[in-house]
Chains A and B, each alone.
Chain A
Amino acid sequence: MSRLIKQGHITDDTWLPVNVDIIQPAPGQICNLEQWLQLADRNGSAVQLEPGQEPAPLFDFVEQIQLVVIHFPVFTDGRGFSYARDLRERGYRGELRAAGHFIRDQLTYLQRCGFDAFQMAEESGLEEAVASLRDFSEHYQAAIDQPLPLFRRRTQNKH
C-alpha cells in the first residue's frame, strides 16, 4: 500500500491504482479517463487525468466524483496546476490528488491550486517534504486556498 500526504499528514492510500487491463473497474479502483467515461454509475468514482487530458468532461459530475488524481509524469509539466484550479473553480470538493514525479518544492503551489493530497513517486522523503507545505504564510494572489487576493485583504485589515 502506498503512502501519501493528505491534509498535511502522512497516511496510507486506500484506493487501488489505475489498471488499464480492467474492463469494468469496481468501486475503490481508480479509473483512467477512458474507463471512467464508460462507467454507468459515477457516484463515488475515482479518475486519473494525464497531461493533455483536460478536466472538462468531469465538470458535470463534480458532486459525484470522490477522487480526482492528476498525474505528473515529469515535474516540469505544469498543466496539472491549471487542471486542479479548473476543477475547484467548477465546484469540485472531493479529494484532489497530485501523483507522480513532482518535487516537494512544488507542494505549496500545488496546495494553492486546490490539491489536498500528494502521492510522490519517491516516498522516502515524505516526512521531510511535509514541511514544504508551510514555505509561505502569505501570498499575493487569490487561489483555491485563499479566495481573496492580498489587495482585498490589505484594505480589509486597514478598516
Chain B
Amino acid sequence: MYVYDQYDQKIVDERVAQYRDQTDRFLAGKITEEEFRPLRLQNGLYVQRLAPMLRIAVPYGLLNSKQLRKLAQITRNYDKGYAHISTRQNVQLNWPQLSDVPDILAELATVQMHAIQTSGNCIRNTTTDQFAGVAGDELEDPRPYCEIIRQWSTLHPEFAFLPRKFKIAVCGSDQDRAAIHHHDIGIELVADSLGEIGFKILVGGGLGRTPMIGSVVCEWLDKKHLLTYLEAILRVYNKHGRRDNKFKARIKILVNAMGVEAFREAVEHEWQATKDGPTTLTDEEMIRAREFFDAPDYQVVDGDVARIELDEHCARDRIFGNWVKRNTQVHRVPGYRIVTVSLKATGFAPGDVTAEQLELLAELSDKYAFGEVRSTHQQNLVLADVQTSRLYALWQQLQVAGLATPNIGYLTDIICCPGGDYCSLANAKSLPVAEAIQSRFDDLDYVYDLGPIELNISGCMNACGHHHIGHIGVLGVDKKGQEYYQVCLGGSQSKDASIGNILGPSFKQEDMPDVIDNILSTYVTLREEEESFLETYRRVGIDPFKARVYVQAD
C-alpha cells in the first residue's frame, strides 16, 4: 500500500488548512454560497436533503486497519456511528456538520487520508479492480499506475474547473472488474505484439442521462507517456467540452460530437506540446510506485494439501462451505483465498457499515489479512489475502457481526445509491426497493439457482447505482410528483460491456418485488442448461420479459 512521505503529508496538511480558512470565511459571510460551492465540493462536501454528506477518498479502494479505526472513530464523534461504501469505492458520511468538516479532514490527514476531489467538476478518485495484485487473471498490477495518476490529478491546477466531473478507472486483468468502458477515461494494461506491456486508452464512456461505452483513442501507449497523454486528453476536454448545458458537458458528448478520429487528432496535437517533457514518467518513478504494492510476506503452503483440507472442512460444515463457495475466490498464491465481506444483509442499506463492524474488520485484517481491506464498487469490502487454513476462524467472527451473508454476485448483492432517503438529487427512494427485493428473495436456494445476477438501483438519472450496467437495472423516476421505477434489462459492466434496454412503462414501489419476480421467472422458464440471466436475455431479447411483466400487471 502507498505510504506518504513528507511531501504527500505536507500537501494534504496544507489542503486541510486551506479548507479550514475557506469554511471560516464562508461561515463569516465573506464567501457567497455560489463561490463556496465548488470549494466544498472539491473537499468532498455535498449539501444534502437532511444534512451535508462528506465523501472521503479511498484511492483505488485501498484501506489499512489504522484508517478503518480512524473512520470508525470519526463516524462516532461526528456522525451517527456508521459509514457508507459508494459505488466508486469511496466512503460516505451522511450526517456531518458543515462546521466540523475541517476537523474531520484534519483527523483523516493523520492517517494519510483526505476528501480531495471526491466531488466537483474535476478529476475524481481513480478506481480499479478490487482484486488487483491477487487475481489470477492479471497481466500486471494496476495500482502503481493508479497511485501515479492520483498524485498527478491531485490539486492539478489546470483541471479544477472542468466542464463537468471526470472519472478515470484502470484495469490490469483479463476480466474487467473496474468497469473501464463506463468511465470518462478507461485504462487497460495490455501487451503489444512483442509482449511489451503498455496502456490501451478508452475515452468517453459514462452513465448518467446519456449512457455510452468508451471508444478506443489509443490502442497501445508506452507507459512512460501515461501522464502527458492524459494531460492532452484533459486539455482538449477543458477547452472544448460544452459548458452551456450541464447535461451535455461530459467528455462522452464531446467525443461523440467530434467523432473519435477527430478527437484522437486533437489529442495528438495537444500532446506534441508536452510529449517527452518533464512529466514523462521515469523508470525510477515507476519502480518506486511498484515497490509500494509488492506482495506481502505469504506463507509457503502446499496448495494441494490446503485445498483438500478446505474441501473437507467445507463438507463437514455446510454453512461454512456455502460461504466459502459464494464469498471467497481463487487467489493467485496457493493456500490463500480472497474473501469478500458482504455489506448486503437484508434489513441494512446496501454498502452501510457500522463503527463496530469497521473496528472488527480492522482487527480481523490485522489478524488474517496483512492489515489491509479493500472497498469495492459493488459496495462490499474485501480481505484480499487470507490463508485457507484460517478461513473458518475468520468466517465465525464475520458471521457474528452480520458480515457473512453468502450472496456475493447474486441477486441480493444489490448495488444501490443512497437515494431519496438522503440525496437531494434523487427523484425516488432506492433503499426501500432494495430491501423489499432482498426480503422477497430470502430463499437462498432459489437465489443460487438463478446464478450470478447484478441488480443495480439508482434513485435518479445521475445513475450512482449504475443501473444502466446492471443485468437488471432499476431507476427511480418522478411521475407527476409520485415515485415510480423504470426497469432496464441486459446491461453489463464487464468487457462485454452493454447498456440495458428499458423494459417499458415504470412501476409503483409496492409492485417492484412482483416485477422482479416476473422477470426472474421468465428467465427460469426460458434458460437453456447453464445459461446465465444475461446470456438468456441476449439470446431471447426483451420481448418475452415484456410480455410476462405487463400481462401480469394488467
Contact = CB atoms under 8 A, between A and B. Distances in A.
A124 B239 CA distance: 31
B527 interface: no
Contact of A151 (B35, B235, B273, B285): B285
Contacts of B29: none
Interface in B1-53: 5, 7, 10-11, 14-15, 17-18, 22, 30-31, 35, 38-39
B66 to A, nearest CB: 23
Interface string B145-186: 000100110111111111000000000000000000000000
A75 B37 CA distance: 12
B7 A78 contact: no
Nearest to B285: A151
A78 B285 contact: no
Contacts of A85: 158, 235
Interface stretch (A1-9, A12-20, A28-36, A104-112): A104-112
Given A140-B155, A141-B279, A151-B282, A78 B10 contact: no
B277 interface: yes
B282 A137 contact: no
B287 to A, nearest CB: 10
A108 B14 CA distance: 12
B157 to A, nearest CB: 4
Contacts of A150: 7, 151
**Interface range on chain A: under 10, 10 to 19, 20 to 34, or 35 or more?**
35 or more
B238 A81 contact: yes
B161 A139 contact: no
Contacts of A75: 35, 161
A78 B282 contact: no
A86 interface: yes
Contacts of A81: 157-161, 238
A152 B278 contact: yes
A106 to B, nearest CB: 8
Contact of B14 (A125, A137, A149): A137
A89 interface: yes
Contacts of B17: 135
B18 A140 contact: no
A76 B282 contact: no
Interface in A107-156: 108-110, 112-113, 125, 135-143, 147-152, 154-155
By Cβ-Cβ distance, the 4 closest A-B pairs, closest first, are: A78-B161, A112-B157, A109-B157, A151-B285
15 contacts: A78-B160, A82-B239, A86-B273, A89-B273, A90-B273, A106-B160, A112-B158, A135-B17, A137-B10, A140-B152, A140-B154, A141-B152, A151-B151, A151-B288, A154-B288
Interface of A: 51, 54, 75-79, 81-83, 85-86, 89-90, 103, 105-106, 108-110, 112-113, 125, 135-143, 147-152, 154-155
